[in-house]
């Protein structure tokens, strides 16, 4: 079974569960787990070493293995992706909380972006936002890095200002909501339109990170910027997009 694909291993495991197959599934899934971890800009703490996060990812893999239904026409790696990612994010949430002061600042940045955009007829610069926040530019950049770290992976989530966490919302796969596909398409199209209105470099960074699944370090190398700067730019764009999207009718009615 050494050359078998992950899906072939999964199919064999559900026909004849065996410890050997389970171990092979773990080994075959490690590139996926490491890819997911590589996209998370983890905080610098002793409990966020690669081995710790891989253990959290494997835990998510086990959850996926227990709940996967091989009779449905869904590839296991697609099904497992969200369980693995969710497990890693949950682990990070347990050991690292966004300080209350940073949560307050996050809300202020959103308000300033909306207000200054209306006053200036354009997006305010980072210097202008930092000045309004009574922050140094370095302090503002640190806030943007916090935003990017807590957002972790997905644009399709909401921020809980009371807890300081981003919570990803995934529909129950066994439930079907009326007009759910229509609403999802509307949200997707609105998001695409907003991204399309960004400056070329910002649009490229989001595309490479979210859709081409490149890591921060890979994007930094490609664009000849520091990894920290890419993290700050992504954080800024997330705040900007979320501020823009909240004014859209499709999000107000959601």
Asked if 150 and 164 touch (Cβ cutoff 8 Å), the reply is yes
Tokens of 87: 């497990």
> Does pTM surpass 0.75?
no
Q: Return the CATH architecture of domain 100-252.
A: Up-down Bundle (1.20)
Percentage, residues of the chain above pLDDT 70: 71
Of residues 149 and 37, more confidently modeled: 37
**106-123 average pLDDT score:** 83
In what helix (H) or strand (E) does residue 206 lie, and over which residues does it extend? helix 200-206
Asked if 87 and 65 touch (Cβ cutoff 8 Å), the reply is no
Please state, in angstroms and rounded to a whole number, the distance separating the CA atoms of residues 111 and 109: 5
- pLDDT reported for residue 121: 87
Asked if 32 and 83 touch (Cβ cutoff 8 Å), the reply is no
What DSSP string describes 10-73? HHHHHHS--HHHHHHHHHHHHHHHHHHHHTS---S-GGGSHHHHHHHHHHHHHHHHHH--TTSS
Place of tokens 């092979």: 24
- pLDDT reported for residue 29: 93
Confidence of residue 140 (pLDDT cuts 50, 70, 90): confident
Q: Is 158 helix (H, G, I), strand (E, B) or coil?
A: strand
Of residues 100 and 54, more confidently modeled: 54
**56-60 average pLDDT score:** 91
**107-118 average pLDDT score:** 83
Q: Is 168 helix (H, G, I), strand (E, B) or coil?
A: strand
38-52, 142-156, 185-199 — which is least confidently predicted? 142-156
Confidence of residue 151 (pLDDT cuts 50, 70, 90): low
Given a cut of 60, whether residue 171 has pLDDT beyond it is no
**133-141 average pLDDT score:** 87
11-15, 127-131, 190-194, 236-240 — which is least confidently predicted? 190-194
Tell me the domain boundaries of the chain: 6-95, 100-252
Asked if 25 and 10 touch (Cβ cutoff 8 Å), the reply is yes
- pLDDT reported for residue 242: 75
Please state, in angstroms and rounded to a whole number, the distance separating the CA atoms of residues 104 and 224: 33
- pLDDT reported for residue 152: 44
Given a cut of 50, whether residue 154 has pLDDT beyond it is no
User: Is CATH 1.10.760.10 what the domain over 6-95 is classified as, yes or no?
Assistant: no
Given a cut of 50, whether residue 235 has pLDDT beyond it is yes
- pLDDT reported for residue 180: 42
């Amino acid at each position: 079974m050494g050359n078998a694909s992950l899906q072939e291993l999964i199919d064999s495991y559900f026909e004849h569960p065996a410890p050997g197959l389970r171990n092979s599934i773990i080994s075959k899934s490690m590139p996926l787990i490491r890819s997911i971890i590589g996209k998370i800009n983890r905080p610098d703490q002793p409990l966020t070493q690669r081995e710790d996060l891989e253990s959290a990812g494997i835990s998510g893999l086990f959850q996926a293995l227990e709940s996967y239904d091989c009779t449905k026409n869904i590839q296991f790696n697609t099904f497992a992706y969200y369980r693995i990612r969710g497990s890693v994010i949950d682990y990070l949430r347990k050991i690292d909380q966004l300080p209350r002061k940073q949560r307050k600042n996050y809300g202020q940045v959103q308000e300033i972006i909306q207000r200054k955009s209306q006053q200036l007829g354009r997006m305010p610069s980072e210097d202008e936002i930092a000045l309004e926040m009574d922050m140094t530019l370095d302090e503002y950049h640190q806030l943007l890095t916090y935003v990017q770290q807590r957002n972790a992976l997905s644009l399709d989530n909401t921020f809980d200002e009371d807890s300081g966490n981003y919570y990803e919302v995934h529909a129950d796969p066994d439930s079907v909501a009326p007009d759910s596909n229509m609403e999802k398409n509307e949200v997707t199209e609105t998001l695409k339109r907003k991204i399309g209105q960004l400056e070329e470099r910002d649009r490229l960074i989001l595309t490479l990170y979210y859709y081409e699944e490149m890591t921060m370090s890979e994007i930094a190398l490609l664009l000849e910027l520091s990894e920290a700067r890419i993290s700050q730019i992504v954080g800024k764009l997330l705040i900007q997009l979320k501020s823009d999207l909240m004014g859209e009718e499709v999000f107000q009615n959601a």
